[in-house]
């Protein structure tokens, strides 16, 4: 599974660089995290049936960190 996710990221980053058409890349790290983090939080929270404690455990982060990330993505 994690290989599938890594392959997806690779394919999309290669497409991103191909589509730059001479433009300089900028803030790639933040761009990728922003694109991946919100849907990951949505799916994990759904799997945890909205239980933030369970979702935080699934993610391997503290509940307070999860709450901050949910607020950052307007998911709270």
Find the helix or strand (DSSP H, E) in which 7 lies. Answer: helix 2-19
pLDDT at 3: 82
pLDDT at 1: 62
What is the domain-level CATH number for residue 61? 1.10.10.60
Q: pTM above the 0.85 mark? A: no
- Token digits of residue 22: 């001479």
Tens digit of each residue's pLDDT (9 = 90 or more) over 11-59: 999 999 999 988 999 999 999 998 899 999 999 999 999 999 999 999 9
pLDDT at 64 over 90: yes
Note the Cα 38 to chain centre separation in Å.
5
Domain containing residue 66: 2-72
Domain count for the chain? 1
Q: pLDDT-based confidence at 76, cuts 50/70/90? A: confident
């Amino acid at each position: 599974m994690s290989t599938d996710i890594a392959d997806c990221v690779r394919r999309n980053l290669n497409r991103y660089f191909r589509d730059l058409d001479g433009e300089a890349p900028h803030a790639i790290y933040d761009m990728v995290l922003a694109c991946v983090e919100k849907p990951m939080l949505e799916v994990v929270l759904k799997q945890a049936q909205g239980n933030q404690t369970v979702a935080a455990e699934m993610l391997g982060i503290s509940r307070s960190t999860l709450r901050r990330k949910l607020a950052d993505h307007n998911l709270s």
